[in-house]
Structure 1
Amino acid sequence: MEAIFGILILIADIYAIIKILQSSAGGLKKIIWVLLVLILPVIGLILWYFAGPGGKGG
């Protein structure tokens, strides 16, 4: 069960990174968001979804 959860988080993180790189945000903001998602996979993903470039919060 833990392996499935880990794979789902990995897929979601890859999706988030792709969307971050495709966003219209500036280069530094993209780098910061990608690092946040890579360093804190679950928390970074949640923060990106609600506040990241192109996310719900702008």
Structure 2
Amino acid sequence: MDRMLRILFPFLVIAFDIFCIVDVILSKSWQIKTLNKVFWIIIILLLPVIGGILWFIFGKDRGQDSAQGSAPRRTVAPDDDPAYLSKLAREQEQQDRIRDLEAQLGDLDDPDEKPGDDRSTRG
């Protein structure tokens, strides 16, 4: 039993360190609370088990702050984005206003002309 622990323990330490290093590498930059990836990898390599434990305690944000806005915004489809929809509504209102003003200007251009009055038939 003692011999098995002597053989198994180094493999467990190496596996834990590899797991921690891979976790550091795959972590997004916004998930890392302190230092940066390179320093965390060095700490894990220099302090085999302790470095990994430190990484999980102090290094990676495990989602406590994600509800407070530290996570990046998710992509929203245009038809689900309220800002985009309000922009479309404003543009539509502007187009309607422009059409109304053009119609009013058209009516003001020739005040003598009555609707249905065709000047080419007069002689």
Percent of residue pairs identical? 33
TM-score by length of 2: 0.40
1:57 to partner: Cα distance: 7.8
Alpha-carbon distance change, 4 to 56 in structure 1, aligned in 2, over 3 angstroms: farther
Alpha-carbon distance change, 18 to 54 in structure 1, aligned in 2, over 3 angstroms: farther
Q: What do you get for the CA RMSD once the two structures are aligned?
A: 2.4
Relative contact order, higher structure (CA 8 A, sep 6+): 1
Gaps of 5+ in 2: 66-123
1:46 to partner: Cα distance: 1.0
From the two aligned structures, give the one with the greater helix fraction.
Answer: 1
1:1-58 matches, within 5 Å, as 1-25=5-29, 29-55=36-62
Gaps of 5+ in 1: none
Aligned residues between the structures: 57
Alpha-carbon distance change, 47 to 56 in structure 1, aligned in 2, over 3 angstroms: farther
Instruction: Decide which structure has the larger Cα Rg and report it.
Output: 2
Q: Which amino acid aligns with 2:52?
A: L
- Asked if 1 retains the 8 angstrom alpha-carbon contact of 2:13 and 2:49, the reply is yes
